[in-house]
Amino acid sequence: MTDTHHQAHGAESGEDLRKANELLRDILELLKDKTQRMLRDDHDACWNRWLEVKEIIKYKREEIASFNYGAFRDDAYEAKGIAAQSPKDAKQKVRRIQRAMKGRTMERWQFDEINGVLQDTWNIAMAAYQRRREEREQEQQQWRERMSAAKSRKLELINRNRTMIENLESQIDRCKDMLHNTKSPEFEQRIQEWIDEKHGKIRDIERFTADLEAQIRSIDVKVQ
């Protein structure tokens, strides 16, 4: 009985209590055994001691359960507090708490309360994931729309540039006609300057157009 008393009094876990209860059951069987008679005073003393140890086990179980409940509850609420801002960390903490709770001594209502907090934490974390995914999808869609708008503006500029080049080429053709028909060396020189100037503008526009086309190709690669 002394060993059982020490086992119960020194219990620090559910496993310790389980061993103490096993010893207590063995002693109870001995007390019930009619083949091994004991003096009444000895039997009563053992029975009272047995009841005392049983109360110690009950008290220690409540003490251990209360300690576990407080520790796990604090951890659970801590995880819940970070779930909205740090869903990944919160989910990892929930898993760690659930693993640590397995086999630990607590009352059913204590388990239920902590599991409820953990479930709330998980739901908050998943909602945060969903919200962030939707925000990323919205940002991606907005980015694609900006890229599409930028491409449209560049294509519009390219079309304007081509129209400008066509107009300049037409102007050059007219200048060439004027060049063939002029009799004045001074006017001929002036016309040639006009032609050279328009060719220069065409080259500038073509370079600008090539740059716009390269930008469009870059956009197409990014949005694939």
Residue 123 lies in a domain: no
Q: Which pLDDT score, from 0 to 100, does residue 49 have?
A: 65
Do 159 and 212 fall into the same domain?
A: yes
Q: Can you tell me the distance from the alpha carbon of 40 to that of 195, in angstroms, rounded to the nearest whole number?
A: 134
Q: Is residue 119 part of a domain?
A: no
Going by C-beta distance under 8 Å and a sequence separation of 6 or more, which residues neighbour residue 22?
Answer: none
Show the tokens assigned to 223.
């949005």
CB neighbour class for 36 (10 Å; exposed up to 12, middle 13-18, buried from 19): exposed
Residue 54 lies in a domain: yes
In-domain check, residue 113:
no
Q: For 104-119, what is the mean pLDDT?
A: 93
In terms of domains, do 78 and 24 share one? yes
Domain-embedded: residue 116: no
Does residue 159 form part of some domain? yes
Q: Are residues 14 and 84 in the same domain?
A: yes
Residue 166 shares a structural domain with residue 212: yes
68 plus 8 within the same structural domain: yes
C-alpha 213/C-alpha 28 separation (Å) is 94
The number of distinct structural domains making up the chain is 2
Taking only the tens place, the pLDDT of each residue in 173-190 is: 999 999 888 888 888 999
> What is the residue range of 76's domain?
2-106
Domain C-terminal end among 55, 84, 106: 106
Pick the residue with more confidence: 71 or 22? 71
Reported as a pLDDT band with limits 50, 70 and 90, residue 15 is: low
**199-215 exposure pattern, b = at least 16 Cβ within 10 A, e = fewer:** eeebeebeeebeebeee
98 and 169: one domain? no
Q: Note whether residue 138 is domain-resident.
A: no
Assess if residue 15 is contained within a domain. Answer: yes
Start-to-end CA span in the chain (Å): 79
> What is the reported pLDDT for 224?
80
Q: What is the pTM of this model?
A: 0.60
What integer pLDDT is reported at residue 184 of this predicted model?
87
User: What's the angle, vertex CA 21, arms to CA 16 and CA 26, rounded to 5?
Assistant: 130
Which of 89, 110, 88 is closest to 101 using CA atoms? Answer: 110
pLDDT at 7: 44
Last residue of a domain, one of 106, 130, 153: 106
Quote the CA–CA distance of 91 and 122 in Å, as a whole number: 6
Cβ atoms within 10 Å of 179's Cβ, excluding its own = 16
Whether residue 153 is found in the same domain as residue 209:
yes
Whether residues 150 and 91 fall in one domain: no
Q: Give the helix/strand (H/E) hosting 223.
A: none
Query: In the numeric block, which tokens belong to residue 148?
Result: 């599409």
Q: Give the integer Cα–Cα distance in Å for 170 and 163.
A: 11
Contacts of 11 (CB under 8 A, 6+ apart): 17, 20, 57, 60, 64
Per-residue pLDDT band for 10 (boundaries 50, 70, 90) equals very low
Tens-digit pLDDT profile for residues 144-153: 999 999 999 9
